[in-house]
């Protein structure tokens, strides 16, 4: 990316997190410490991956960032109530009684609902689905709608929670390349939570490795992107996944 020297470019982080402590059931008989001394930030146009074992407190951390959980010690900037952060939940969380298009528009501020979203729907391959109800969609398509809803916000920071989990390899690869393209073209920052090493390696500029409970930062590893060729078909997608998982077989 050639962003150096662009005029007025703000290099200050789009997100700074400093969680000293998060305890569930504090004051109860068995308090559980979910997070301890977790501090990191996300730079503009960066894809940061928060990776760690299941139950490590990744989702807890996300809920704090989103302002869904205010019961913790520490600080998060910007304030979660400020516009600028858009969330893609692990489940698509679409309104089943509204069409794909309505789902995307209703999440916008009232004044912006009439905006032209053709290019967004086109780029996500959702154009034929705009008038359909979510029930008609596969999980992969529903995730795209959820992503479209987030991207329509034109966020400074896009937060993705396990966005590729339980998708088949081809759909996951397609969705990954959509996210990467989007970030490259809009300079949106991404914070992605995952426990999948493959998608981390393929997408991340920086990897934030979490320990188990209580979660704290073990390592920060900068990476260069992309590590694999953009897959062209599902066979290529599978091959690239295999190449990462079993390099000796593919080399043979």
- Binding-site ranges for another protein (CB under 8 A): 66-68, 81, 83, 86-87, 89, 91, 93, 95-98, 102, 106-107, 109-110, 133, 135, 149, 153
Residue 91 or 229 having the CB closest to another protein: 91
Nearer CB in complex with another protein: 153/188 = 153
Rounded to a whole number of angstroms, the minimum distance from the CB of residue 155 to another protein is 11
Burial class from Cβ neighbours inside 10 Å (0-12, 13-18, 19+) for residue 49 reads: buried
The minimum distance between CB 24 and another protein, in angstroms, equals 17
CB closer to another protein, 98 vs 206: 98
The least CB distance from residue 66 to another protein, in Å, is: 5
As measured in angstroms, the least distance from the Cβ of 106 to another protein is: 5
SS (H, E, C) the chain: CCCCCCCCCCCCCCEEEEEEEEEECCCCCCCEEEEEEEEEEECCCCEEEEECCCCCCHHHHHHHHCCCCCCCEEEEECCCCCCCEEEECCCCCCCCCCCHHHHHHHCCCHHHCCCCCHHHHHHCCCHHHCCCCHHHCCHHHHHHHHHHHHHCCCCCEEEEECCCCCCCHHHHHHHHHHHHHHHHHHCCEEEEEECCHHHHHHHCCEEEEECCCCECEEEEEECCCCCCCCCCCHHHHHHHHHHHHCHHHHHC
Closer residue to another protein in complex, CB, 97/246 = 97
* Least distance from another protein to the Cβ atom of residue 97, Å: 4
Residue 110 half-sphere exposure toward CB, CA atoms < 13 A: 0
Provide the 10 A C-beta neighbour count for residue 169.
17
Q: How far is CA 200 from CA 79, 88, 163, 194, in A?
A: 27, 17, 12, 8
In the bound complex, what is the minimum distance in angstroms from residue 108's beta carbon to another protein?
A: 8
Choice between 89 and 129, CB closer to another protein? 89
Cβ-based nearer residue to another protein, 9 or 95 = 95
Residue 18 or 66: the one with the smaller Cβ distance to another protein is 66
CB of 142 to another protein, least distance (A): 13
């Amino acid at each position: 990316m050639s962003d150096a020297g662009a005029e007025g470019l703000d290099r200050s982080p789009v997100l700074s997190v400093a969680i000293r402590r998060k305890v569930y059931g504090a004051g109860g008989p068995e308090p559980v410490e979910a997070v301890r001394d977790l501090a990191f930030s996300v730079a503009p146009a960066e894809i940061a991956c928060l990776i760690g074992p299941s139950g490590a407190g990744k989702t807890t951390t996300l809920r704090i960032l989103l302002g869904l959980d205010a019961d913790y010690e520490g600080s998060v900037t910007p304030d979660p109530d400020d516009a600028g952060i858009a969330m893609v939940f692990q489940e698509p969380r679409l309104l089943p009684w509204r069409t794909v298009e309505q789902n995307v528009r209703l999440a916008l501020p009232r004044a912006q609902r009439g905006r032209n979203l053709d290019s967004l729907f086109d780029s996500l391959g959702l154009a034929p689905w705009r008038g359909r109800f979510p029930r008609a969609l596969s999980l992969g398509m529903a995730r795209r709608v959820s992503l479209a809803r987030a991207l329509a916000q034109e966020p400074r920071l896009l937060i993705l929670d396990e966005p590729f989990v339980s998708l088949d390899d081809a759909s996951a690869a397609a969705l990954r390349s959509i996210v990467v393209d989007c970030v490259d073209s809009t300079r949106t920052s991404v914070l992605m939570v995952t426990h999948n090493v493959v998608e981390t390696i393929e997408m991340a500029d920086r990897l934030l490795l979490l320990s188990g409970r209580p979660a704290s930062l073990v390592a920060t590893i900068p990476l260069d992107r992309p590590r694999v060729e953009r897959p062209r078909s599902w066979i290529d997608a599978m091959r690239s996944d295999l190449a990462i998982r079993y390099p000796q077989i593919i080399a043979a």
